């Protein structure tokens, strides 16, 4: 990962308006916010994975509605960090190096003191929009200190009837045997949305199944799927 981080930090130096806040009272201060998020976004590739495909069952419950909605999704990964979510034959979200650089250009990153999340020791990074009109819409990343897998992501958003919504997404992992070694991949994620009074307005579970590894994904595969679509970048894979 060292070579990638050197290249990564060279790029950061040329981002206009870059702000760096030196961590205070932090252990291992060399682990800056940028390095931590770089490790998170490349977690799968750093385990030696080339590509995979996995099915996802999304189940959503909204407090104001009695119905429970379900969607079948397919998630594709290709090293070093291309992530694409499909619903049917339509792309829904995309994350890659370009989206990560977009995050760095639009947000100020700050590492805060490490915390424990669900029994895991985690780095904590807060991303604050550079645009003063959107300062309150922060993203907070909790990244496992041992191997950089994402443990929790919190984000503040504004949507339709709500000016303030807090989303908390927790990620749960499972070990798989691949190529004679063990790898760690997401088995389930749980999201909860809260209004500005702390009331739960939505709960969502994504269950992962049927991982397929080394299926031969290429850049042209993704370009073909994305052609003609306006795909929203996801916020941190």
Could you tell me what percent of the chain has a pLDDT over 70? 84
Long-range (24+ apart) CB contacts under 8 A made by 218-221 are: 218/78, 219/78, 219/82, 221/78
pTM equals 0.86
What pLDDT is stored for residue 8 in this prediction? 45
What is the Cα–Cα distance from 211 to 230, expressed in whole angstroms? 27
What pLDDT is stored for residue 163 in this prediction? 78
- Give the domain ranges of the chain: 2-47+57-63+96-209
pLDDT of 222 > 90? The answer is yes
Phi/psi of residue 3, each to 5°?
Answer: -60, -40
Q: For the chain, what is the mean pLDDT? A: 87
What pLDDT is stored for residue 12 in this prediction? 41
Residue 181 or residue 60, greater confidence:
60
- Local confidence band at 217 (pLDDT 50, 70, 90 cut-offs): very high
């Amino acid at each position: 990962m060292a070579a990638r981080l050197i290249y990564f930090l060279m790029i950061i130096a040329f981002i206009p308006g870059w702000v760096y806040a030196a961590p205070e009272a932090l252990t291992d201060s060399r682990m800056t916010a940028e390095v931590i998020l770089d490790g998170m976004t490349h977690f799968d590739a750093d385990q030696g994975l080339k590509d995979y495909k996995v099915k996802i069952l999304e189940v959503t419950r909204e407090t104001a509605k009695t119905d429970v909605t379900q969607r079948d999704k397919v998630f594709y990964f290709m090293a070093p960090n291309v992530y694409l979510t499909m619903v049917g034959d339509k792309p829904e979200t995309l994350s890659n190096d370009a989206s990560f650089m977009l995050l760095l250009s639009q947000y100020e990153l700050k590492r805060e003191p490490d915390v424990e999340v669900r029994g895991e020791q985690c780095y904590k990074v807060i991303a604050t929009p550079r645009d003063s009109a959107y300062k309150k819409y922060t993203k907070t990343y909790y990244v496992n200190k041992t191997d950089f897998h994402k443990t929790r992501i919190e984000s503040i958003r504004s949507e339709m009837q709500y000016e303030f919504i807090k989303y908390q997404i927790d990620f749960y992992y499972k070990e798989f045997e691949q190529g004679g070694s063990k790898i760690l991949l997401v088995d389930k994620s749980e999201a909860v949305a809260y209004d500005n009074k702390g009331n739960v307005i939505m709960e969502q579970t994504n269950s992962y199944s049927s991982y397929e590894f080394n299926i031969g994904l290429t850049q042209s595969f993704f370009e073909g799927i994305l052609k003609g679509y306006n795909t929203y970048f996801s916020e941190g894979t």
